[in-house]
Amino acid sequence: MTKQKHTMQPRPSHDESVRQDFVTDMRAFLTDEIYSLITPHYEKNIEPEFFRSNDRKPKDKSEVKKLMLNDRGYQSWSLLQRLSQQMMFTSVIDTVERNLDTMIDDLNNHQAIGSLEIDDSLEIPKYLTAYDIHQQPGGYHTESIKNDISAGAVYDFSLPIYSRNGMGEENDLLAQAIIRYIDEHLDTVKPKEILDMGCAIGNSTLPFAKKYPSARVIGVDVALPCLRYAHARANALGVEAHFSQQNVEKTSYDSETFDLVTSTLLLHETSHDAVPKIIQECFRLLKPGGWMIHLDVYPFHNKENNPLYDFLKDWEVSNNNENFSGALRNMNMKKIFQDAGFSNETIEFTSAEAAAKYSKGYTGDFYLKLPVYLAQRPINP
């Protein structure tokens, strides 16, 4: 496992490092090798048996779910996959807790560039406090001590394990996918004011500051432990960015401030009520001609009827505390964009390519096609 990429990351002991490497390898085995056997097993054994009894294939994911939840092979994989997520956090938390006091003491040495704005009165939305997203204990917002950064450190340190070292050395794979999309399809976009919504630790914020060094780049989030860590992390990496504790449903910025508003894996962590508000806020914040680009989990441009695929996509919903992810897929996102005021001609649900040179089992330079939802605010109202 790749470790200690910047000075704000905690350094694991030998035993902690070995545990983390074990969990990384376990997740790689479960995700890359065992998971790849599920579809062939279903097509060879489970679906034919259902067909013999019903003279048809399963019609939707609910029928597939009944079949798969009674299959010992799937049961075993699902249990181990969920446990591996818990093992990941346990292995990382030991390292963070052992180093936490030193890391907090070192915050003052990582404040020279950029800025951090804190809103002590901000209320954390219920959709972030009702359960621990991704099973990370305490979620991303919980504070246990003064100047707590533990949630941010745990998130940063666990991402390489979760992704099997596939997110890049700075955990910035997703933002790089957006940047690549802009370069290939929106090459006239030269933003001077950029807002990254739901920025967490800034791993998807800093790539924009590097790509557009003359731009003002701001990351906003409600989770203060992540924001403290994000600002210190940016300093450790020598990248100027600004961070602010705000709810992306309604920020404090003036209308028509930004040329580009982005997010990575934000929308599926929110709620039915929040998504339209976020899109409306994007429209308000964008200058005429500005672009909104959200990278998320569900490809709205791919509506093929595949009950097994739909069932497997819901694994995170049922087993990894991604409670809203499944519901997001059923929302009429195009109408939400239109209702917010975005130009219908520029609304697009497509995919962006991402590189992951550290992952095994893939060929070619690009192996991930990540869903992106984008739209342009009209130049003329």
Residue keyed to tokens 């994989």: 77
Rounded to whole angstroms, what are the CA distances from 359 to 36, 77, 81, 183, 365? 15, 20, 18, 24, 11
Residue 238: pLDDT above 70? yes
Burial of 121 (C-beta count, 10 Å sphere; 0-12/13-18/19+):
exposed
Q: pLDDT for 314-340, tens place per residue? A: 999 999 999 898 899 889 999 999 999
Q: Are 191 and 260 in contact (CB under 8 A)?
A: yes
Q: Are 159 and 350 in contact (CB under 8 A)?
A: no
Q: pLDDT for 254-278, tens place per residue? A: 999 999 999 999 999 999 999 999 9
For the domain 1-381, what is the CATH superfamily, name and number? Vaccinia Virus protein VP39 (3.40.50.150)
Residue 4: pLDDT above 70? no
Helix (H/G/I), strand (E/B), else coil: 99: helix
Q: pLDDT for 65-89, tens place per residue? A: 999 999 999 999 999 999 999 999 9
What pTM did the predictor assign? 0.93
